[in-house]
Amino acid sequence: MNSVKSISPGWRNKHFPGVLGLVLLLTAPCGAASFDERLIAAVLIAEARGEGIVGMTAVGEVIANRARKRQLPPGLVVQEAYQFSPLNRTKPRELILRYEKEPLYREALRIANTVIHTPAELPGLAAGADHFEHIRAPVPRWARGQKPVAVVGGHRFWLLSN
């Protein structure tokens, strides 16, 4: 039996919008977003816009899980060197400017708000994962010998034992 939690695009479209919609409605409006919320929203879009709200939520969960494990604010977690590839060659403000006009930006801000202020309200799509990578990429060195804990759309999610 496969113990990897998997959410396929078909399941997402049929069953998930109502649950996630409720979670997102309960979060604060994104009108006066902080720098950290704007940065996390840009990272979510850069990493998972092709996966929509579900994929961005799963990536947001990874950010929240790393923040909890490292006892750091989520805004600092995304800025740690070589942790989130969209920031490897771009400054945070440039990333925000690049993605704040995207159609999903408002939803990404809501997810970022939840990641920062009420991470316990995230739905658990990433099954506690603290790392992820694109499913078409070779298994990264840091994941060798481990099994993914979830697959959401085109991403595998990993809970590393380190």
Q: What's the pLDDT score for residue 5?
A: 60
Q: Is residue 92 part of a domain?
A: yes
Q: Is residue 28 part of a domain?
A: no
Q: What's the pLDDT score for residue 27?
A: 44
C-alpha–C-alpha distance, residues 64 and 74, integer Å = 6
Which residues lie closer than 8 Å to 29 by C-beta, 6 or more apart? Answer: none
C-alpha–C-alpha distance, residues 16 and 21, integer Å = 8
Q: Is residue 26 part of a domain?
A: no
Q: What's the pLDDT score for residue 32?
A: 73
Provide the number of structural domains found in the chain. Answer: 1
Strands 150-152 and 155-158: antiparallel
Please return the burial class of 1, using the count of CB atoms within 10 Å of its CB with bins 0-12, 13-18 and 19+.
exposed
Q: Is residue 72 part of a domain?
A: yes
Phi-psi label, residue 124: left if phi above 0, alpha if psi -120 to 50, beta otherwise: left
Q: Is residue 81 part of a domain?
A: yes
Q: Is residue 101 part of a domain?
A: yes
Q: Which residues of the chain are under the pLDDT cut of 70?
A: 1-31, 161-162
Q: What is the extent of the structural domain holding 149?
A: 5-21+33-158
Q: What is the pLDDT of residues 74-101, one digit of tens each?
A: 999 999 999 999 999 999 999 999 999 9
Q: Is residue 13 part of a domain?
A: yes
